Amino acid sequence: MGAAWFYHMTRTPLEATLPVLLGKALGAGWRVAVRGPNVDRLGWLDEKLWLGAEEGFLPHGLAGGLHDARQPVLLTTGRDAANSPDCVVSVDGADVAADEVGALARVMILFDGNDPGAVERARGQWRGLTGAGCAAQYWSQESGRWEMKAESG
């Protein structure tokens, strides 16, 4: 049974935080779906991930390609990712259901701590998932490094 880990980004933006977390997930042997609510935003993120390749190659693809099922990391708006992920990373407030948390190795919910709407959305996701019995951890980078600040379940 998996857990939802919430990442409260206050010092680094999504495009800097995501590659680090994806690298850790791939290192664990997981296939990953990065889920966002907006195709254009995922296209922007796809470009950012390719531009960061000088720090290390991060194999990924944008859903809708010929080889979606083979992608170690697939950027998608849909719940049923073609790459059969072990881990789902929610960005920009994309929905994650409690049954997904239980079925996956990990769910990561990344949110911008400088955006009050994103913070409130993440709080609602925390309440919804923990209220449904999902294990969860809240991670903050306010001190300059990631620290677990809360745990449930």
Single-letter code of the amino acid located at 41: R
Q: Are 107 and 2 in contact (CB under 8 A)?
A: yes
Average pLDDT on 132-148 reads 94
Q: Where are the domains of the chain?
A: 7-152
- Pairing relation of β-strands 147-152 and 135-140? antiparallel
Rounded distance between C-alpha atoms, residue 48 and residue 32, angstroms: 17
Sequence-distant (≥ 6) Cβ neighbours of residue 97 within 8 angstroms: 79
pLDDT tens digit string along 45-88? 999 998 865 566 789 999 998 999 999 999 999 999 999 999 99
Question: Residue 153's pLDDT is what?
Answer: 82
The pLDDT of residue 39 is above 90: yes
Provide the mean pLDDT of the chain. 94
What is the reported pTM? 0.94
The pLDDT of residue 10 is above 70: yes
CATH number belonging to the domain at 7-152, selected among 3.40.50.10110, 3.90.1640.30, 3.10.580.10, 3.40.462.10: 3.40.50.10110
